[in-house]
Amino acid sequence: MTRILVVDDSALVRRVLGEILREGDFEVEFARDGVEAMERLHAFKPDVVTLDVEMPGMDGLEVLDRIMVERPCPVVMVSSLTSEGAETTLTALELGAVDFVPKPGGVLSLSADELAPRLIDTVALAAKARVRSSLRLVERLRARRTTGAAGARKRTSVTRSTSSASGAPSGLVVIGTSTGGPAALDVVLSDLPETFPWPVLVAQHMPASFTGSLAARLDGLCALSVVEVTAPTLIETGVVYVARGDADMIVSRRSEGLVVLPAPSSAKHRWHPSVDRLMVSAMDHLAADRLAGVLMTGMGNDGAGAMAALRAAGGRTIAESEASAVVWGMPGELVRADGADFVEDLDDIAGRLIQMLMR
């Protein structure tokens, strides 16, 4: 039986989460604060920890950091701050949390029915997730960037020799990811140089309240400019475009050139922002050899069908390896569909893109 450690300073929250998880056939134990959480971590040896952020004494982020050092295991953040404070949630994901479940507002006991299926599904998936041994991602990334040029050389518009005569980009990279994706995007995008020749479009499964903060954090780490797409936007070289959450993002063509724009989520697709829909829309406007697809960590199969079709049409694709993916669902489906030109560990994906497009 899967063992779950519930860490929360609220007795009501502990009771409700415990009832939900026991109904999901999990073995559950509890901790009231960070100190008790670390004690139970070593004694109970949980398969998954659900962790509140705001606790007296040692807060959730401190506990998470210690878990990732002392006994790494999948952690799901459960806190009001994960719905209201996207910055805190993204920090948790960077530090190694697998996923998050927003704590419902109002009277918690009246919201348990809404919370239950998502919590059970998320914890069950987390129990199967791979926790990478490369810990303290925030510090590692900051150290890698101290000698770099990310920060002082942002620009709003760039035309390069790799663009067409009209100044339009000569190709596009589409990246799709889900569970474990924010930390993976940190690694890949921060390794792309300012001179990277193609714009990058990102579909990360995430709520709308989080993608703006995700784009802002990535912008601070990357040599390329990173923006959230909230309105029709001209696609330019030197920019990473992040799809707004809870919707889809598509490529279109207007008089001024290729644009990317938000679109209401399509009922034909299960996950949003949809990687499949983004990739298909890009293929509608550019030849396959002008496109590259990257599918990284995440549950399900979003993006696998469209990227396999891209490869069959002459485009190039990369799947993250099983060895490095937190959840080898999406990239695994691409590999099984014979849709991946390359299967790369996370740390090698940016290098492969550079090799493909900057020769």
Q: CA 244 to CA 230: how far, in whole Å? A: 6
Q: What does the alpha-carbon distance between residue 338 and residue 156 come to, in Å, rounded to a whole number?
A: 38
Task: Give per-residue burial for 286-299: e unless 16+ CB within 10 Å, then b.
Answer: bebebbbbbbbbbb
In the block, residue with structure tokens 């784009």: 215
Q: In what order do the strands lie in the sheet with 200-204?
A: 225-229, 239-243, 200-204, 172-177, 291-295, 316-320, 342-344
Q: Is 178 a catalytic residue?
A: yes
Tokens of 212: 């703006």
- Strands of the sheet with 257-263, listed across from one edge: 233-234, 257-263, 248-254
- Selected catalytic residue, list 79, 178, 190, 281: 178
d(CA 79, CA 236): 38
**Candidate list 205, 248, 276, 348, residue with the active-site label:** 205
The residue assigned the tokens 């980009």 is: 169
Catalytic residue among 65, 99, 302, 348: 302
Contact 259, 281 (CB under 8 A): no
Could you list the active site residues?
178, 205, 302
